[in-house]
Structure 1
Amino acid sequence: MARNGIGRPSKGERDAILAKPPIPFALILKENAAKEGYTYGDYLLALAAQALEMPQFSPAPQHNRAEALQFPKEARTAAA
């Protein structure tokens, strides 16, 4: 399949595994993932790879381009 340059690059062949943690625990996982620069799923993979001592399967944290560029949260115009 040809890439058209839109979207993120493929991470390769993957298997889908569904996890349904209790909401309070999910909120902790999501907050920790964001702090570490991971997506929610990649954070869970990183934790599993660490627990199983298989670092070759741990994804790298993603670079947050919006944070690096420091975009303002709300744009205001003089025309309004």
Structure 2
Amino acid sequence: MSDAPETDPESNSELEGETLGGARPDPSTDASKDPADWVTGDEPMTGPQRSYLDTLAREAGETLPADLTKAEASEHIDRLQQKTGRGTS
């Protein structure tokens, strides 16, 4: 009998091998989907997106509409990270 907790092998199969807290991949070589192609991209932005975007916009001296979609928020976050130097290592 093993002391390891029982887990469903299918429950986290997509996350296997991923880590948190490490260096972020170079976005110019990232093969992830374009936010415009996200299935949920037209849904309202999430709470965390809104909060982070508010911080970035303040730092950049910009104002943005509060009714952005997830995809639009992601694109603004990427742009404002470049402008403010946040999120770059």
State TM-score, norm by structure 1. Answer: 0.27
State TM-score, norm by structure 2. Answer: 0.25
Higher RCO (CA < 8 A, seq sep 6+): 2
